[in-house]
Amino acid sequence: MKKRRKARYSSENYIQGILQGDRVLLSQSITLIESRLENDQILAGEILEAILPHTGNSLRVGITGVPGAGKSTFIEALGKWIIDENKKLAVLAVDPSSSRTKGSIMGDKTRMPELSQDLRAYIRPSPTQSSLGGVARRTREAMLLCEAAGYEVIFVETVGVGQSETLVRGMVDFFLLLMLAGAGDELQGIKKGIMEMADAVVINKADGDNLHRAQVARAEYESALHLFPSSESGWQTPVLTCSAQEKSGMAEIWEVILRYRREMEKTGFFQKKRQEQQINWMFDAIRQNLELDFFKHPKVQAALPEWEEQVRGGKVPPLSAANSLLNMYKQS
């Protein structure tokens, strides 16, 4: 029966393993972070605390795009380019709707066949969490572990369409939006405002018959982006074209990302943004904890659906419902 008990390392084992770049221990540590078991969480906390001095050295790149834009192929192509530049690359996926049982691990391996077989790259599927806040926390922590394990570039890929873009943008240095030309932009399903969050817009599938359309789209997006003010950083969002299929345009894209870092480090914006992200992270963690305590309270859980129904139907004012629930919570 002993066999059923998984070998369990001490935090020291994990810490040493991660710092030495051990992929298995890195993966297991990320699993600890995703675990809801209290013992796992304590262990994860110890590991995080210890590796912290070894984090923050990567370039964190968020990648989002509409379904069909060829995101996996793009990440393969750009990722391949980066590891060929002798940089270690980690790819983390953020998908609030994902469920591990649906096979997302296998999914990630098959959709990025080259990267997943290359030891200079580390691919981690999205944690299985229903709450967006939970996903954010776990992704941030996984990012730190990867940094401690020596990964110099981290891609954070949004898989779901919707809120996850804002979330990812809040944890990366550079945010890249992948688009398609000629597919009818109305149909691309990009949430309003996403395009304006991008530090670069890349139009994929600029190849074959599609080349001209991609170039036209590039000009269109460029002029559309000019209608909007430049951001606080002073960075003017460039629009590029590429073909992930043909692996063309990768040098230019990578150079834009590096140029962003150079220029923003010079102005101090890069560091300032990271500091703000740290502070936001602290406040997020506090808020999440307070809410979690509230919403997981048995009495609240039992009463909430009825109050929600009453509010929706206009029978109870939202504030009265909120106060009733809060009183219930505080009195017990």
Q: Does 296 bind its own copies (CB under 8 A)?
A: no
Could you say whether residue 119 binds its own copies (CB under 8 A)? no
CB of 10 to its own copies, least distance (A): 20
Give the CA angle between residues 263, 219, 179 to the nearest 5°.
80
Contact 112, 123 (CB under 8 A): yes
DSSP string, 10-36: -HHHHHHHHHTT-HHHHHHHHHHHH--
Q: Which of 4, 24, 101, 229 binds its own copies (CB under 8 A)?
A: 229
Please report whether residue 188 would count as binding its own copies according to CB under 8 A. Answer: yes
SS3 of residue 90 by DSSP: strand
CB of 176 to its own copies, least distance (A): 16
The answer to whether residue 197 forms part of the interface with its own copies (CB under 8 A) is yes
Nearer CB in complex with its own copies: 124/140: 140
| Angstrom distance (rounded) from CA 308 to CA 301 | 11
Q: Does the footprint of its own copies cover residue 187 (CB under 8 A)? A: yes
Q: 143-174 burial, b if ≥16 CB within 10 A, otherwise e?
A: bbbbbbbbbbbbbbbbbbbeebbebbbbbbbb
51: tokens are: 């590796």
CB under 8 A: which stretch of 12-20, 224-232, 238-246, 257-265 binds its own copies?
A: 224-232
Q: Is 285 in the site for its own copies (CB under 8 A)?
A: yes
d(CA 128, CA 96): 7
206 near its own copies, judged by CB under 8 A: no
Contact 164, 132 (CB under 8 A): yes
Interatomic CA distance for residues 89 and 83, integer angstroms: 7
Residue 251 is a binding residue for its own copies (CB under 8 A): no
Q: Which stretch binds its own copies (CB under 8 A): 24-32, 122-130, 215-223, 256-264?
A: 215-223
Of the residues 49, 84, 114, 265, which one makes contact with its own copies according to CB under 8 A? 49
Considering only residues 50 through 109, tell me which ones interact with its own copies, judged by CB under 8 A: 52, 56
Residue 275 CA to chain centroid, in angstroms?
18
Nearer to its own copies, 108 or 147 (CB): 147
Residues near its own copies (CB under 8 A) are 45, 48-49, 52, 56, 137, 141, 144, 185-190, 192-193, 195-197, 220-221, 223-224, 226-231, 275, 278-279, 281-283, 285-287, 289-291, 294, 307-308, 311-312, 314, 317-323, 325-326
